[in-house]
Amino acid sequence: MAMSGTSVGTVLPKVEEKLFQNRYMVDAGRPHIRLSINGEPSAALRSLVTTCPAGCYTDNEKGQIELVTDGCMECGTCRVVTAKTGEIEWQYPRGGYGVLYKFG
């Protein structure tokens, strides 16, 4: 049975394929997100390794969290997840920089 709005045999694009269409203008040397960790990263910050939809957070071999803001979708997930810990300083990128969404 076909889903509403699709015909039999129609292949819908994967989320990754749609996200690849977006572009990101890097503001070199001026990241819009900064980590401010005092000591061991919290469980909330560690959870961003799996919850950040853009995959900006990674866990390195020393057990520390690393952040690469290139490709950030500016969704605010990291702001919400770490709101109580204060481990993230987040602001919107300067005009003309950051994610450029392509709709369609």
Residue range 40-87, pLDDT digits in tens: 999 999 999 999 988 999 999 998 999 998 888 888 999 999 999 999
Beta bridge partners of 95: none
For residue 82, what pLDDT is reported? 95
Helices and strands, number each (H, E), in the chain: 3, 6
* Range in 18-22, 70-74, 95-99 with the lowest mean pLDDT: 18-22
* pLDDT for residue 1 is more than 50: no
Pairwise pLDDT comparison (1 vs 87), residue with the higher score = 87
Q: Which has the closest alpha carbon to 74: 50, 101, 49, 41?
A: 101
d(CA 87, CA 41): 8
